[in-house]
Amino acid sequence: MAGRASSLGEASLRIIIGISLKAALFSQPLTHSCWPLTSYYNRHYGALVKSFTKLETPTPATAGVDKTAALKQTFELINSQLYAVEERIRAQARVFDPAVEGYVAYAIESNGKRLRPALALLAGGATGAIGTEHLDLAVVVELIHAATLVHDDILDGADTRRGQPTANAKWGNALSVLLGDCLFAHALKLASGFRSPEMSRRIAEAASEVCSGEIIQTQRRFDLKLSVPDYYRIIEMKTGALFAVATELGAFLNEAAPAVISALRTFGMRLGTAYQIYDDVLDLAGDETKAGKTLGTDLRKGKLTLPVLYLLQNSEPAERDSICNVILSGTDEEVAALARRAIQTGALKSAVATGRRMVHEAQTQLKIVPAGRHRDALTGLVNTLDAMFGQYAS
C-alpha cells in the first residue's frame, strides 16, 4: 500500500497486544480481595463532581448536537450515584506513585459522558437496588474505557479529545502507551475485589474483547476488502463489549433472572454498536468544536467505517477505483472531498438508518426487564440516541 497506508507498522499492534494478554490472564477466577475504592470518597472533589451532572441548556448553536448534555439529562434519575462514581473515579489517581498521579488524573478527569458507568447503574436499578458493588462496577468499566481512549488517540494521532489536548499530544506516544497500560492494569486489579469471581472473569473477558477488536481494526486499516459484516464484528468487539458487560453485570449483581441478564447484555451490545456507528457518522459530518475531539481521523488513518463501506458498495467500478485510490494515498483535501461525497450520495444517510435500526433492536430487549423508573431511563437513553441519529437522517 502507498502513501498513508505504508506508515502503519507493527508498532501500532504492539500497543494493544500486551494489554489483551494481561486481560486474558485476569479472565481466570480470582478469589482474593483488593478493593480500595470506598475509602477514597473525598470532599475536595465535590465541586468538580457536581459540575459533571449539572444539566446544561443547549444554545441554538449546540442544540441537537451536544450529546453530552443530552445524555446528562437522560441520567438525571441516577445523579446522586453518578456523583459518587465520579468521586471514586477521580480518587483512583491517588493510588499511583506521586510521579505518575498527575498523568492518571489527567486521563480520568476529563469530564466525559460516563455513559458506561451510567448503564451499569441503570441496569442495577432496573433489576433491584443500586448497591456499593454497582458503583465499583461503574468505576472499573470507566477505567477500561479511559485506557482505550488513551491508546485510540495514539493510534489515530489525535490531538484533541473533549476540547482538551490528548495525552499523546501533551507527553508523546511512549509515555501515553504506558499510561494506558496503567489504567488497564489498575481496572483489572480492582475487578478482582468483587465477591463473585464471575465478575472479574467477565470484566477481563470484555477487556480482552475490546483489545482484540482494536487489534483487528488496526490490522484491517486500508483494507479495501473489508466487508460490512467484518465492520460489525470489529465494532461489537471494540465498543459493544464494554457496553454489554456494564448492563449484564449490573443485573448479575442483583441476581436477576438469567433471561433478564441476557436481555440486558444484548441491549448493551446493540446500544454500544449503534453508538459506535453514530460516532462514525459524526466523524464525517460532525463539528469538531461540538464533538470535542479531532474529526476526520477515521478516513485519514484508513479506518473504513460504515458510511464509507456503503459508499463503496453503491459506486460504479470506475468511481470505486477512484475512491480506493483516495483511501490509500489521497491528500487531506481529497479525503475531505470523499467525506462530502459520502454525505451527498446518501451513504451517510444509509449508515444512520442502520444505526437507528440497531437502537430499536436494543429497545425491544427491555420488554422483559421489570417496569419501573430505571427501565424508563434506559428507554429514554434509547430515544436520546435515536434523536441524535435523526439530526443526520435528512
pLDDT in tens, 118-137: 999 999 999 999 999 999 99
pLDDT recorded at residue 69 = 67
Helix axes 332-344, 306-313, angle to 10 degrees: 70
Give the whole-number percent of the chain exceeding pLDDT 90: 68
pLDDT at residue 159, rounded to an integer = 87
Least confident of 92-101, 153-162, 311-320: 153-162
Q: What confidence category does residue 17 fall into, taking pLDDT thresholds of 50, 70 and 90?
A: low
Q: 157 vs 209, which has greater pLDDT?
A: 209
Look at residue 50 and tell me whether its pLDDT is greater than 60.
no
pLDDT band at 298 (very low <50, low <70, confident <90, very high): confident
DSSP 370: P
Q: CA-CA-CA-CA torsion for 83, 85, 90, 91, nearest 10 degrees?
A: 110
Q: At 31, is the pLDDT very low, low, confident or very high (cuts 50, 70, 90)?
A: very low
- The radius of gyration computed from the CA coordinates of the chain, to the nearest angstrom, equals 20
| pLDDT > 50? residue 289 | yes
- Weakest-pLDDT range from 30-34, 279-283, 363-367: 30-34
For the cut 70, the answer to whether the pLDDT of residue 55 exceeds it is no
Q: Which residues of 18-46 are buried (b: 16+ CB within 10 A; e: fewer)?
A: ebbebbeebbeebeeeebebeebeeeebe
Give the confidence band of 54 by pLDDT, cuts at 50, 70, 90.
very low
Task: Say which range, 24-38, 193-207, 245-259, has the weakest mean pLDDT.
Answer: 24-38
In angstroms, the CA 125 to CA 207 distance is 24
pLDDT tens per residue across span 86-112: 999 999 999 999 999 999 999 998 657
Domains of the chain with CATH codes: 18-390 (1.10.600.10)
Q: Tell me which H or E stretch contains 247.
A: helix 241-252
Contact (Cβ atoms closer than 8 angstroms) between residue 108 and residue 162: no
Q: What is the pLDDT of residue 127?
A: 98
Q: Above pLDDT 70, what percent of the chain? A: 79
Mean pLDDT calculated for residue range 55-66: 40
Q: How many CA atoms lie within 13 A of 28 on its CB side?
A: 4
* pLDDT score for 47: 40
Considering 66-75, 195-204, 335-344, the range whose residues carry the highest mean pLDDT is: 195-204
Confidence at 227, pLDDT banded by 50, 70, 90:
very high
* Partner residues linked to 164 by β-bridges: 161
270: alpha, beta or left, given left = phi > 0 and alpha = psi -120 to 50?
alpha
Residue 111 per-residue DSSP state: -
Bridge partners, residue 165, by sequence? 160
Residue 185 and residue 5: Cα distance in Å, rounded?
31
Q: Look at residue 338 and tell me whether its pLDDT is greater than 80.
A: yes
Please count the helices (runs of H) and the strands (runs of E) in the chain: 20, 2
Q: Which residue has the higher pLDDT, 238 or 44?
A: 238
The answer, yes or no, to whether residue 43 has pLDDT greater than 80, is: no
Task: Provide the pLDDT for residue 68.
Answer: 64
pLDDT at 113: 83
On average, the pLDDT of the chain sits at 84
- For 340, half-sphere exposure in the C-beta direction (CA atoms, 13 angstrom radius) is 6
d(CA 207, CA 23): 6
Binned at pLDDT 50, 70 and 90, residue 58 comes out as very low
Please report the pLDDT score of residue 371 as a whole number: 97
Q: For 286-372, where are the alpha helices, taking DSSP H only?
A: 288-291, 297-300, 306-313, 317-329, 332-344, 347-364
pLDDT of residue 56: 36
Mean pLDDT confidence for 35-57 = 36
Q: Do the Cβ atoms of 85 and 135 come closer than 8 Å?
A: yes
Residue 35 has pLDDT above 90, yes or no: no
Asked if pLDDT for residue 28 goes beyond 80, the answer is no
